[in-house]
C-alpha cells in the first residue's frame, strides 16, 4: 500500500495530515499507532516498544528515547512533533528532553486532544520562556508551534523515589511520569503482594524462576527477589524497564535475583519461548484513556506456553474485568485467591 493511499485514523493525525508542512526528516515523538504515520516519513521516538516494533515492521526508523538521546544514529532532525500525552508530567518530561537533546531553534509542533490537556502546553511553554503560536484546530484537537531553546532544567529531575510499606518490609522504589502507579503503591498490587505473602503462596513457586510481566516501577520484581525468586521483569514501556532496574539497585537486589533480567517486551515478545515456574502480573487494561484488553488477553491466553507443567499464572485485576472467561479458555479452570470487591487475585495452573 502506498503512502498516498493511506489516510490518518487518529484525530490528532488527521489534524496533522491536513497541514502543508513537509515532515520529511522530522521526529514523531511519543506517537500513537496510526497507519498514516507508520507508512510516511520521519523517525519515531517512543518509549513504547509496541509502537517502535510496528514502525520497524513497516521498514521505518524508530528509537527509544534512551537510544536517541545522542541523536547520533539518526542525525539531527529538521523538526519534531510532540504528541501530548495523557500524563501532563510525562508531556513536560518529553518537552524538557527535546530541549536538552536537539539544537536551539529546532522547530517543534505540539499536538493533542482537548480532553487530553493540550491547551495546558501554553502555560508550560510560557513558564519555560518559549514562544508559541496556534497553527490549527479540528476534531477537538489543537496544534501549536514553537522553537526549542535551552531552558536550564534537567529532564532527569523527573525521576523520583518513594518508600512502599509491605507488612514488616519496606522497599524503595524509583518512578517516572507515565509509569503505572507513578509515585505510589497501587491498591491492586498491594492486594496481590499481601495474597502472595499468605500461607497459600508456597505452591505458586516463589522460590523458582518467576516472570514479572508488566513490571512498572519494579515493586513486584523487588518483592519477589526479596523472597528468593529468580526474577525476570519485563514491560513494554522503556521508562518502566529503567524504573525497575533502578528500584532493584536501590534495594541491593539486582545481584540477588537469580535471573536478574529486566528488559523491554511486548507481553512475551522478547522471551524467546522461555518457560517459568510462575508468572505474576498486575496487567494493564488502558491505552491512554481507552480501555484495551488486548495485552491482558495475550498475557492470559499465551501464558500456558510460558509455564512449566504445574506452573501458575497469578494476576490481580479490577473485579469488573472479564478475565475469568479468558482464564477458563487458557487453563480450563482457575481459582480466586482474594477478593476485596474492588480487586480480585486469580490463580490458574498449567496442568
CA of 173: how far to CAs of 65, 94, 226, 258, 315, in Å? Answer: 22, 22, 14, 20, 21
Four-way CATH pick for 3-152: 3.40.50.720, 3.20.20.190, 3.30.930.10, 3.40.50.150: 3.40.50.150
Contacts of 320 (CB under 8 A, 6+ apart): none
Q: What is the pLDDT of residue 285?
A: 66
Which string of b and e fits 168-206 if b means at least 16 CB within 10 Å? eeebebbbbbbbbbbeebbebbbbbbebbbeeebeebbb
CATH topology of domain 159-349: Rossmann fold (3.40.50)
Q: What is the pLDDT of residue 49?
A: 96
Give the residue among 247, 227, 226 at the shortest CA–CA distance from 235.
Answer: 247
Contacts of 223 (CB under 8 A, 6+ apart): 166, 169, 171, 193, 196
Look up residue 237 and give its DSSP letter: B
Give the residue among 17, 158, 139 at the shortest CA–CA distance from 87.
Answer: 158
Stretch among 23-27, 76-80, 166-170, 191-195 having the lowest mean pLDDT: 166-170
Region 124-133 average pLDDT: 94
Task: Name the average pLDDT for the chain.
Answer: 90
Distance CA 32, CA 57 (A): 16
Residue that is written with C-alpha cell 513558564 in the block: 127
Distance CA 71, CA 80 (A): 13
Region 300-304 average pLDDT: 97
Distance CA 148, CA 52 (A): 24
- List the grid coordinates of 184: 505510589
Is residue 204 predicted with pLDDT exceeding 70? no
pLDDT tens-place string over residues 130-178: 999 999 999 999 999 999 999 989 999 999 999 999 888 899 999 999 8
pTM of the model: 0.91
CA of 59: how far to CAs of 42, 43, 72, 150, 237, in Å? Answer: 11, 11, 19, 33, 21
Rg (CA), the chain: 21
CB distance 129 to 149 below 8 Å: yes
Look up residue 31 and give its DSSP letter: P
Please give the share of the chain, as a percent, with pLDDT higher than 90: 77
Spans of all domains in the chain = 3-152, 159-349
- List the grid coordinates of 4: 498516498
Amino acid at each position: 500500500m502506498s503512502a498516498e493511499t493511506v489516510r490518518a485514523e487518529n484525530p490528532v493525525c488527521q489534524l496533522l495530515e491536513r497541514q502543508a508542512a513537509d515532515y520529511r526528516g522530522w521526529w514523531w515523538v511519543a506517537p500513537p499507532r496510526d497507519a498514516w504515520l507508520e507508512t510516511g516519513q520521519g523517525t519515531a521516538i517512543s518509549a513504547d516498544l509496541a509502537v517502535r516494533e510496528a514502525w520497524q515492521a513497516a521498514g521505518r526508523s524508530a528509537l527509544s528515547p534512551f537510544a536517541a538521546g545522542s541523536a547520533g544514529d539518526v542525525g539531527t532532525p529538521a523538526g519534531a512533533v510532540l504528541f501530548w500525552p495523557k500524563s501532563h508530567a510525562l508531556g513536560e518530561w518529553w518537552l524538557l528532553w527535546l530541549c536538552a537533546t536537539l539544537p536551539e531553534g529546532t522547530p517543534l509542533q505540539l499536538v493533542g486532544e482537548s480532553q487530553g490537556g493540550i491547551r495546558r502546553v501554553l502555560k508550560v511553554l510560557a513558564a519555560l520562556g518559549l514562544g508559541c503560536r496556534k497553527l490549527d484546530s479540528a476534531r477537538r484537537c489543537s496544534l501549536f508551534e514553537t522553537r526549542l531553546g535551552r531552558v536550564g532544567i534537567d529532564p532527569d529531575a523527573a525521576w523520583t523515589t518513594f518508600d512502599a510499606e509491605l507488612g514488616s518490609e519496606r522497599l524503595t522504589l524509583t518512578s517516572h511520569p507515565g509509569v503505572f502507579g507513578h509515585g505510589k503503591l497501587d491498591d491492586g498490587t498491594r492486594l496481590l503482594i499481601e495474597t502472595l505473602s499468605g500461607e497459600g503462596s508456597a505452591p505458586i513457586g516463589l522460590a523458582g524462576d518467576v516472570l514479572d510481566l508488566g513490571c512498572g516501577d519494579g515493586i513486584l520484581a523487588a518483592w519477589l527477589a526479596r523472597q528468593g525468586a529468580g526474577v525476570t521483569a519485563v514491560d513494554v514501556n522503556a521508562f518502566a524497564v529503567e524504573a525497575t532496574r533502578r528500584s532493584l539497585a536501590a534495594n541491593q537486589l539486582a545481584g540477588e535475583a537469580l535471573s536478574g533480567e529486566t528488559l523491554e517486551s511486548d507481553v512475551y515478545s522478547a522471551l524467546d519461548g522461555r518457560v517459568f515456574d510462575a508468572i505474576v502480573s498486575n496487567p494493564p487494561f488502558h491505552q491512554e484513556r481507552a480501555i484495551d484488553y488486548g495485552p491482558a488477553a495475550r498475557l492470559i491466553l499465551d501464558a500456558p506456553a510460558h509455564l512449566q507443567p504445574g506452573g501458575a499464572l497469578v494476576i490481580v485485576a479490577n473485579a469488573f474485568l472479564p478475565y475469568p472467561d479468558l482464564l477458563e479458555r487458557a487453563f480450563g479452570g482457575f481459582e480466586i485467591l482474594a477478593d476485596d470487591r474492588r480487586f480480585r487475585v486469580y490463580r490458574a495452573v498449567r496442568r
